[in-house]
Amino acid sequence: MDLKGTWLCMKYEIPEMLKQGKGVIINCASVAGLVGFEGLPAYVASKHGVVGLTKTTALECAKLGIRVNVVCPGVIQTPMIDRLTHKKKENIEQFQGLEPIGRFGLPEEIANTVVWMCSDEASFVTGHAMAVDGGFVAK
């Protein structure tokens, strides 16, 4: 099987999954892969690329027993957010104001989504970009 092109980023995962007859790949992008953000063209382009690569690979692998999806987190309480806000109350409130739910997401909430996407309960889900964003892209 030729693993050039759209599979290049996943060229080591897919052959192993083909050997076992099934598999699930979950890529990680961002809500920036679903919408634009002024002043962040390179970041937004790279995240849109991850979403597009995921969808294309999902189509190519669907009949091979391999599901491919991408999780798109919103603002998540991580050290990156601490660095961006400098842990200042006004900066934290500004970032939290981006989320309709009114708070940062937690890393565990992203992990729980990934676990579900890998489970048999999501067996009919492939090629999906799942926003886990407190409602951000619903605006």
Angstrom distances, CA of residue 124 to CA of 19, 62, 101, 120: 21, 10, 28, 9
Task: Tell me which residues are annotated as active site.
Answer: 43
Angstrom distances, CA of residue 78 to CA of 12, 101, 111, 114, 133: 29, 17, 13, 17, 14
Angstrom distances, CA of residue 58 to CA of 40, 45, 65, 101, 115: 27, 20, 10, 31, 18
